[in-house]
């Protein structure tokens, strides 16, 4: 699968809220993971999906998550979140994320999520991503 076959990245604009800052006057580092997830869920909606539909059969728990922080974010600052599907395996999705303010790189992150059955046995085990979800997150011509 070529990178260029993957869906266009999701862009979203965000303004730093006061409750996202900490006593150092900066956005607390844990918030970047929430910004990344917010963009993931927006990407799913753009693809006509909900990652956690009320009666959905599948869930997508996080397998790993990371961020590299390049510059700080402060109260009321505006920034962009760019997220894309970097790769799709049978049972997992890997996203990469860039937070930026114009040309300034703020942070780069990655999350890997696995597909599981929401009411499946414990401990949770990864299962194949359903075809309709796979197709929507990846253009059909990438299948060949």
- Residues forming contacts to a copy of itself in the complex (CB under 8 A) are 17-19, 21-26, 28-31, 33-34, 37-38, 41, 45, 50-52, 54, 59, 61-69, 71-72, 74-76, 118, 123-124
Least Å from the CB of residue 5 to a copy of itself: 27
Nearest residue (CB) to a copy of itself, 3 versus 17:
17
- b/e map of 61-95 (b: 16 or more CB within 10 Å)? eeeebebeeeeebeeeeebebebbbbebeeebbbb
Residue 31 backbone dihedrals phi, psi, to 5 degrees: -70, -30
Nearest residue (CB) to a copy of itself, 112 versus 142:
112
Does residue 101 have an active-site annotation?
no
Least Å from the CB of residue 144 to a copy of itself: 33
Determine which one of 22, 68, 101, 132 is catalytic: 22
**Gap between the Cα atoms of 8 and 4, Å rounded:** 8
Catalytic residues: 22
């Amino acid at each position: 699968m070529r990178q260029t076959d993957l869906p266009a990245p999701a862009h979203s604009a965000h303004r730093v809220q006061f409750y996202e800052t900490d006593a150092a006057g900066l956005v607390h580092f844990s918030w970047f993971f929430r910004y990344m997830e917010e963009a993931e869920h927006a990407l799913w909606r753009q693809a006509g999906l909900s990652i956690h539909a009320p009666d959905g059969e599948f869930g997508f728990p996080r397998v790993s998550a990371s961020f590299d922080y390049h510059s700080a974010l402060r109260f009321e600052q505006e920034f962009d979140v760019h997220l894309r599907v970097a790769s799709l395996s049978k049972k997992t999705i890997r996203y990469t994320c860039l937070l930026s303010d114009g040309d300034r790189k703020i942070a780069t992150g990655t999350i890997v999520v696995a597909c599981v059955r929401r009411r499946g046995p414990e401990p949770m085990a990864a299962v194949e991503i359903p075809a309709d979800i796979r197709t929507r997150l990846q253009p059909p011509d990438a299948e060949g």
